[in-house]
């Protein structure tokens, strides 16, 4: 990769600083990837039990030890090849709320057959659920290391779950003897309100709530059976917060807008790099991987909303350990997968998979419908059509969040930087964070002034260089070294120039930058150490703040069981939104 920079005549010192920052970023990227390697399939014979403890639950309140180890004895192994999995029938995944009785019967029959298989059959529901548990709770180590292999909180979140659904759906289809059988997607992003609550996207599909059917799960929030409540993507721990359906819909739309529309690079949307040697609980400030906005801002809230609040860690759906024991998990993830697909078609930015070899060549393990253990690479997840899978369009619902226009909050006018400084005594946060930086406890609310570097003002430049004009650079907020317990639901909501924001502040305004919600994935007391990145440029534009030197950033913390959260620092940086032809960033 060549760092060819073309500087215009208007170059200023601050412009140079921005360029230096971009060069340094590119250098660090190259140097850190040069010695790393893609994740290899783990040694499936070496497995340990998953241990989950809950800090605060009223039912079932002991340490949960789960054996999620996967079967391998006498199981044939193969490397994935498309030749072995030709597309013979199109699989069209439809919106769950539009399913007819015939499909519902079929879906139930498929899970009935899967649940009837013996627990050591790799196609059984027990093993299917354990595949998810095994790769999120410490059952397996990265090959030849002592580091846990984990498929959330990084760029593997999307390809891993897509391949997981692919094989899961093939098994269901083969058990039914119907090669065209496809999963449904739970269309919770669809905010079209109607009195016909049996047929709206954003509640729990009615047929999943019928007791004693194969797709029912008793370990859910009982208040969230259909029609009683709209799904709230925003995680609120205070059950007393009641909003009108319109307010819930507006909040959902802004979350979706901030997560899918303004997050316009793979880094922000899909998540950061995870390679051989990446340790989620022991990374440094500068290399901590991050989860993308679809995972942390959108997907996690549905897990929280669905799980049983009276059970340890809100199982089943509320904790990665048990989430896939609820058949609705697969409908939830089909929608996550659909939204990934929709995201690639939205205008602007670079909406493609990373081109880094450590992404493309990473290996995962799944079982197919013929009970083979299949080693498959992340790159095979890039093209749904190769899988014969497509999603029935949900255009009307999608358009609501695509075209959402968050407005500045009423009553939040005036100079918020001056107000925060003068009235609240808020200080500027150091943006030069390194691995020795001291932890900053967030409490339930943390506000700081953050410097806004000047935007580069040069124009021109070809795609292979780092030169860029205004259109190609976007302000991104990085919350560095977020350190939190993996035993607890933690929700961080971020606001710009709203220093008085708290957990009751509505999130449908332009001041709302995004959220990061961590679904618990306990692993014997291990912590999660991560950087959280959020697109900020769109907020600044809508609030007219692009030319400021400084903004106020407020992080509202909701840790359901109250475990403390700290960060090391915050900074605003520029990120190129162009697709680089020479290297992925
Ligand atoms: Cu692997 Cu929704 O989680």
DSSP 534-566: EE-HHHHHHHT-TT-SEEEEEEEEEETT----E
Q: Determine if ligand 1 sits within 6 Å of the CB of residue 152.
A: yes
Q: Which pLDDT belongs to residue 327?
A: 98
Ligand 1 atom nearest residue 302's Cα? 2
Q: Residues 201, 192: contact at Cβ < 8 Å? A: yes
Ligand 1 atom nearest residue 152's Cα? 1
Q: How far is the CA of 129 from the centre of ligand 1 (A)?
A: 11
Taking the C-alpha atoms of residue 475 and residue 455, their distance in angstroms, rounded to an integer, is 9
Q: Please state, in angstroms and as integers, the Cα–Cα distance from residue 289 to each residue in 99, 151, 220, 473, 481, following that order.
A: 38, 12, 31, 21, 10
Q: Cβ contacts of residue 569 below 8 Å, gap of 6+?
A: 285, 429, 430, 431, 432, 433, 437, 440, 480, 481
Q: Please state, in angstroms and as integers, the Cα–Cα distance from residue 550 to each residue in 14, 15, 86, 201, 426, following that order.
A: 14, 17, 56, 41, 12
Residue range 184-220, pLDDT digits in tens: 999 999 999 998 888 899 999 999 999 999 999 999 9
Q: Determine if ligand 1 sits within 6 Å of the CB of residue 162.
A: no
Q: How far is the CA of 309 from the centre of ligand 1 (A)?
A: 18
Q: Which residue has the tokens 């291990």?
A: 526
Among the listed residues 424, 370, 393, 417, the one whose alpha carbon sits nearest the alpha carbon of residue 185: 393
Q: Which pLDDT belongs to residue 285?
A: 83
89 is catalytic: no
Q: What are the helix and strand counts (H, E) for the chain?
A: 14, 17
320 is catalytic: yes
Q: Which residue has the tokens 């412009």?
A: 15
What number of other Cβ atoms are within 10 A of residue 16's Cβ? 13
161 is catalytic: yes
Among the listed residues 84, 120, 107, the one whose alpha carbon sits nearest the alpha carbon of residue 172: 107
Q: Which candidate in 97, 150, 303, 332 is catalytic?
A: 303
Query: What does the radius of gyration of the chain's CA atoms come to, in whole angstroms?
Result: 23
Q: Determine if ligand 1 sits within 6 Å of the CB of residue 123.
A: no
Q: Which pLDDT belongs to residue 551?
A: 97
Ligand 1 atom nearest residue 295's Cα? 2
Tokens of 520: 């618990």
Q: Determine if ligand 1 sits within 6 Å of the CB of residue 303.
A: yes
Q: Determine if ligand 1 sits within 6 Å of the CB of residue 129.
A: no
Among the listed residues 140, 67, 108, the one whose alpha carbon sits nearest the alpha carbon of residue 365: 140
97 is catalytic: no
Among the listed residues 38, 55, 6, the one whose alpha carbon sits nearest the alpha carbon of residue 562: 55
Q: Which pLDDT belongs to residue 8?
A: 37
Q: What is the pTM assigned to this prediction?
A: 0.91
Ligand 1 atom nearest residue 300's Cα? 2
Q: How far is the CA of 467 from the centre of ligand 1 (A)?
A: 38
Q: Which pLDDT belongs to residue 9?
A: 36
Provide φ and ψ at 25, rounded to 5°. Answer: -60, -45
Q: Determine if ligand 1 sits within 6 Å of the CB of residue 158.
A: no
Chain mean position to CA 33: 23
Q: Which pLDDT belongs to residue 462?
A: 38
Residue range 92-115, pLDDT digits in tens: 999 999 999 999 999 999 999 999
Tell me how many degrees the CA angle 13-14-15 measures, rounded to the nearest 5: 90
Q: Which pLDDT belongs to residue 416?
A: 95
Q: Residues 530, 291: contact at Cβ < 8 Å? A: yes
Q: How far is the CA of 320 from the centre of ligand 1 (A)?
A: 6
Reduce the secondary structure of 329-361 to three states and give it as a string.
HHHHHHHHHHHHHHHCCCCCCECCCCCCHHHHC
Q: Determine if ligand 1 sits within 6 Å of the CB of residue 323.
A: yes
Q: Cβ contacts of residue 565 below 8 Å, gap of 6+?
A: 441, 442, 482, 483, 484, 490, 492, 557, 559
299 is catalytic: yes
Residue nearest to atom 3 of ligand 1 (CA): 320
Q: Determine if ligand 1 sits within 6 Å of the CB of residue 314.
A: no
Give the pLDDT of the chain (585 residues) as one tens digit per residue. 333 333 333 334 444 444 555 554 444 444 444 467 999 999 999 998 876 665 544 445 556 677 899 999 999 999 999 999 999 999 999 999 999 999 999 999 999 999 999 999 999 999 999 999 999 888 999 999 999 999 999 999 999 999 999 999 999 999 999 999 999 999 999 999 998 888 899 999 999 999 999 999 999 999 998 877 899 999 887 777 788 999 999 999 999 999 999 999 999 999 999 999 999 988 888 788 889 999 999 999 999 999 998 887 788 999 998 999 999 999 999 999 999 999 999 999 999 999 999 999 999 999 999 999 999 999 999 999 999 999 999 999 999 999 999 999 998 888 999 999 999 999 999 887 888 889 999 999 999 999 998 765 444 433 333 444 556 789 999 999 999 988 888 999 999 999 999 999 999 999 999 999 998 887 767 889 999 999 999 999 999 998 999 999 999 998 877 888 999 999 999 998 888 754 433
């Amino acid at each position: 990769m060549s760092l060819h920079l073309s500087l215009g005549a208007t170059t200023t010192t601050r412009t140079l600083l921005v360029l230096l920052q971009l060069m340094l970023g590119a250098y660090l990227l190259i140097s850190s990837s040069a010695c790393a390697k893609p994740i290899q399939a783990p040694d499936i014979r070496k497995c340990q039990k998953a241990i989950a403890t809950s800090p605060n639950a009223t039912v079932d309140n002991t340490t949960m030890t789960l054996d999620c180890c996967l079967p391998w004895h006498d199981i044939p192994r193969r490397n994935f090849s498309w030749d072995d999995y030709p597309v013979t029938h199109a699989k069209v995944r439809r919106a769950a709320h539009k399913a007819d009785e015939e499909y519902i019967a079929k879906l139930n029959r498929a899970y009935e057959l899967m649940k009837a298989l013996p627990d050591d059959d790799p196609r059984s529901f027990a093993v299917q659920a354990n595949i998810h548990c095994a790769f999120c709770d410490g059952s397996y180590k990265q090959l030849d290391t002592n580091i846990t292999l984990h498929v959330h909180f990084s760029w593997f979140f999307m390809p891993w779950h897509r391949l997981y659904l692919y094989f899961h759906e093939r098994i269901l289809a083969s058990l039914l003897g119907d090669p065209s059988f496809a999963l449904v997607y739970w269309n919770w992003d669809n905010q079209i309100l109607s009195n016909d609550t049996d047929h709206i996207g954003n509640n729990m599909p009615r047929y999943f709530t019928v007791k004693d059917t194969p797709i029912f799960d008793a370990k859910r929030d009982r208040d969230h059976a259909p029609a009683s409540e709209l799904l709230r993507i925003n995680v609120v721990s205070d059950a007393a917060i009641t909003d009108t359906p319109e307010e819930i819909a507006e909040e959902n739309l802004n979350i979706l807008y901030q997560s899918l529309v303004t997050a316009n690079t793979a880094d922000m949307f899909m998540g950061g790099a995870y390679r051989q040697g990446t340790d989620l609980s022991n990374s440094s400030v500068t290399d901590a991987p991050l989860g993308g906005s679809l995972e942390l801002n959108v997907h996690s809230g549905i897990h929280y909303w669905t799980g049983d609040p009276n059970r340890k860690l809100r199982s089943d759906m509320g904790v990665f350990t048990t989430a896939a024991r609820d058949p609705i998990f697969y409908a939830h993830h089909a929608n996550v997968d659909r939204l990934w697909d929709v995201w690639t078609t939205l205008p602007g930015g670079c909406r493609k998979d990373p081109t880094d070899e450590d992404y493309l060549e990473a290996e995962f393990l799944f079982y197919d419908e013929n009970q083979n253990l299949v080693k498959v690479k992340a790159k095979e997840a890039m093209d749904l059509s190769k899988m014969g899978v497509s999603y029935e369009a949900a255009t009307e619902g999608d358009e609501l969040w695509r075209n959402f226009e968050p407005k500045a909050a009423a009553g939040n006018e005036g100079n918020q930087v001056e107000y925060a400084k003068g009235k609240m005594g808020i200080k500027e946060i150091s943006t030069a964070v390194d691995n020795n930086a001291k932890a900053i406890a967030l409490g339930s609310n943390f506000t700081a002034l953050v410097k806004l570097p000047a935007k580069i003002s040069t124009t021109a430049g070809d795609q292979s260089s780092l030169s860029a004009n205004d259109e190609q650079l976007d302000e991104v907020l990085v919350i560095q070294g977020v350190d939190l317990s993996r035993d607890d639901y933690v929700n961080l909501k971020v606001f710009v120039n709203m220093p008085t924001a708290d957990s009751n502040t509505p999130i449908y305004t332009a001041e709302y930058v995004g959220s990061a919600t961590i679904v618990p994935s306990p692993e014997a007391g291990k912590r999660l150490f991560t950087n959280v990145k959020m697109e900020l440029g769109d907020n600044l534009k809508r609030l007219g703040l692009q030319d400021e030197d400084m903004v106020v950033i407020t992080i509202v913390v909701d840790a359901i069981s109250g475990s403390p959260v700290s960060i090391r620092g915050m900074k605003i940086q520029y990120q190129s939104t162009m697709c680089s032809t020479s290297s992925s960033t």
